[in-house]
Amino acid sequence: MKVLICGGAETAAGRAADLVAARLRRAPATTLGLATGGTMEAVYAALIARHRAGDCGFAAARSFNLDEYVGLAPDHPCSYWRYMREHLFGHVDFAPDRTHLPQGDAPDPQAEADRYEAAIRAAGDIGLQLLGIGANGHIGFNEPTSSLASLTRVKTLARATRAANARFFSGSEDVPRLAITMGIATILRAEEVVLLAVGEAKAEAVARMIEGPVSAFCPASALQTHRRVTVILDDAAAGQLALRDYYEDIHPGGM
Ligand code: F6R
């Protein structure tokens, strides 16, 4: 794992956007794996700025998002479809038929999950996968004890995840109990992974992901088995790393 500690949260988000933009310049037809959530908002804002400056384009790319809530139609105000339109798709030159999310309101959610997994495989799997991390160590909506061999499927959200995401709804009770999420094995098939974590609330999960044992109890720790992972952190999220000096020695200032 390459661990880049970047100082402030904005610098860290900019660094993640730089890696995505560089990949798009090198390989414009890349398949991007995309995440949602608070952490990604700054990454997408930085990517939109780079796109407007002519630094990167999305016209030849395609994308698959990690997850979607079961029961939410694409036009639901709290759906991840809506989030992606607001924070990225509506501002860059992605062709609409090249962006993909699971259909949250599909009549048979597991059949939809199977279809989505097959579509990712048919696209040749993800080129660059962007990830956030939950305070409980989840990636996508792979909650603790998710099988490290899991594929796209329906998962029950942890109470802590529903509480953390209540800020996007009118309250915790409105957050759906189920989501369709790429599995851990789906994510591990990506050619490269860029994970961004900011803030003290993520520090413990970050330390378990990088320095703890590989365990389904911390799903993000499965990334230790991947050959090309870059973890980008701000100072606060790096706060519990035992080998912080070492990472800073190798990549001063997160460069
Ligand atoms: C979102 C996702 C989640 C988030 C994680 C962190 O598509 O899959 O794993 O990345 O819950 O969310 P924030 O950034 O809101 O703390």
* Distances 220 to 58, 104, 136, 164, 185 between C-alpha atoms, Å: 28, 24, 9, 18, 11
Give CA–CA dist 6/136, Å, rounded: 23
Name the residue with the closest Cα to ligand 1, atom 12.
37
Residue type for position 212: G
Structure tokens at 245: 């000096």
Maximum CA pair distance of the chain? Answer: 52
pLDDT value, residue 172: 82
231 ligand 1 Cβ < 6 A = no
Q: Is the dihedral of CA 93, 94, 96, 102 positive or negative?
A: negative
Catalytic annotation present for 51? no
* Distances 31 to 53, 80, 124, 218, 247 between C-alpha atoms, Å: 22, 18, 8, 26, 29
CB 233 within 8 A of CB 206: yes
pLDDT value, residue 56: 96
Task: State the distance from the centre of ligand 1 to the C-alpha of 173, rounded, in angstroms.
Answer: 18
pLDDT value, residue 173: 87
Task: State the distance from the centre of ligand 1 to the C-alpha of 130, rounded, in angstroms.
Answer: 10
**Mean pLDDT by groups of 10 residues along the chain of 255 residues:** 97 98 98 98 98 97 98 96 98 97 98 98 98 98 98 97 94 93 98 98 98 98 98 98 98 92
Atom in ligand 1 nearest the alpha carbon of residue 139? 9
Residue 101: CATH number of its domain: 3.40.50.1360
Residue type for position 166: A
Catalytic annotation present for 136? yes
Residue type for position 179: A
Strands (DSSP E) found in 145-212: 153-156, 178-181, 192-197
183 ligand 1 Cβ < 6 A = no
CB 193 within 8 A of CB 230: yes
Instruction: Give per-residue pLDDT as tens, 52-65.
Output: 999 999 999 999 99
Q: Pick the closest to residue 203 from 235, 155, 248, 169 (CA basis).
A: 235
Structural domain of 186: 2-254
Catalytic annotation present for 18? no
For the chain, report the end-to-end CA distance as a whole number of angstroms.
Answer: 14
Task: State the distance from the centre of ligand 1 to the C-alpha of 42, rounded, in angstroms.
Answer: 13
33 ligand 1 Cβ < 6 A = no
67 ligand 1 Cβ < 6 A = yes
Task: State the distance from the centre of ligand 1 to the C-alpha of 38, rounded, in angstroms.
Answer: 7
Number of domains, the chain = 1
